[in-house]
């Protein structure tokens, strides 16, 4: 079972803002990374570290963290942002964990 | 451009051993700072970290999984592999290989995934 807890499915109107969260004790010590997965595709990294985006990830994706909760925000959601989003974190040394995922639907 | 590509049988019989290989291009599998990882996803479910191997040869596994998972690396071939012994239907999943970048604590490159079904 996941040691990281993510939100149930959410929906967002096209062009609006959505924030999804990830909770877990390990987030007090390690930053979360966030992954986007579309149906039938491999996940891709969208956020790592405190708020960093890999090359090619739009700046409408941002992140924040406080205590045991990490958040991913999509500002001005686009149709192509509809996907499952997973958080991941180091649980302990040499032990990684994923959250259960949150499906984001863009209306 | 870093690329990872899984290969292996798509169908394995119960009680047999599942073997997958990940071929890495565009990066050196022996460079420090990277963990060569296996992650799986059961049908319709979330991601599950299986384990990874560091360039030094040290392997680390998900403690929640049974001791049936083994990761090895073949540096000259730029490949790393996963073996799962005594498989059951519960091991049916898409298996991804991925690179974890230690400075980022993030999986920055992924293979496209390999669906492995366990069935007689």
Residue with tokens 């992954």: A35
pLDDT in tens, B54-113: 988 899 999 989 799 999 999 999 999 999 999 999 999 999 999 999 888 899 999 999
The dihedrals phi and psi of A102, each to the nearest 5 degrees, come to -130, 130
The distance of Cα A97 from the centroid of its chain, to the nearest Å, equals 13
Interchain contact, B106 vs A45, CB within 8 Å: yes
Whole-angstrom distance, CA of residue A104 vs CA of residue B67? 35
pLDDT in tens, B10-54: 999 999 999 999 999 999 999 999 999 999 999 999 999 999 999
Which residue numbers of A have CB closer than 8 Å to B's CBs? 1-2, 30-31, 33, 35, 37, 41-45, 48-49, 52, 54, 86, 88-90, 94-101
Amino acid A2: pLDDT? 54
A83-107 mean pLDDT? 94
Whole-angstrom distance, CA of residue A40 vs CA of residue A12? 22
Q: Which of B33, B46, B95 to mutate to test the interface with A (most CBs of A within 10 A)?
A: B46
Four-point Cα dihedral B101, B103, B104, B106, nearest 10: 30
With bands split at pLDDT 50, 70 and 90, how would you rate the model's confidence at A4? very high
A79-100 mean pLDDT? 94
Interchain contact, A52 vs B104, CB within 8 Å: yes
Residues of B in contact with A38 (CB under 8 A): none
Q: What is the mean pLDDT of chain A?
A: 95
Residues of B in contact with A88 (CB under 8 A): 47, 49, 106-107
Residues of B in contact with A101 (CB under 8 A): 46-47
Interchain contact, B96 vs A42, CB within 8 Å: yes
One-character DSSP codes across chain B: --EEEEES-SEE-TTS-EEEEEEEESS-TT-TTEEEEEEEE-TTS-EEEEEEEETTS-EEE-TTS-TTEEEEEETTTTEEEEEE-S--GGG-EEEEEEEEETTTTEEEEE---EEEEE--
pLDDT in tens, A47-59: 999 899 999 999 9
């Amino acid at each position: 079972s996941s040691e990281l807890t993510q939100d149930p499915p959410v929906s967002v109107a096209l062009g609006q803002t959505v924030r999804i969260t990830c909770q877990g004790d390990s987030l007090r010590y390690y930053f979360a990374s966030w992954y986007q997965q579309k149906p039938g595709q491999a996940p891709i990294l969208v956020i790592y570290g405190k708020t960093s985006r890999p090359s090619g990830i739009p700046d409408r994706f941002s992140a924040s963290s406080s205590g045991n909760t990490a958040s991913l925000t999509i500002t001005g959601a686009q149709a192509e942002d509809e996907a499952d989003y997973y958080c991941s974190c180091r649980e302990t040394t040499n032990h990684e964990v994923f959250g259960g995922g949150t499906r984001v639907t863009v209306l | 451009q870093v690329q990872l590509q899984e290969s292996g049988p798509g169908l394995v019989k119960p009680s047999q051993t599942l073997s997958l290989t990940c071929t890495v291009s565009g990066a050196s599998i022996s460079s420090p700072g990277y963990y060569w990882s296996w992650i799986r996803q059961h049908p319709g479910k979330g991601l599950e970290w299986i384990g990874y191997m560091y360039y030094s040869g040290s392997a680390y596994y998900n403690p929640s999984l049974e001791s049936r998972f083994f990761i090895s690396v073949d540096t000259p071939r730029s490949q790393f592999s996963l073996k799962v012994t005594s498989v059951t239907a519960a091991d049916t999943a898409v298996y991804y290989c991925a690179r974890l970048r230690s400075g980022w604590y993030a999986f920055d490159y992924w293979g496209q995934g390999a669906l492995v079904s366990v069935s007689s």
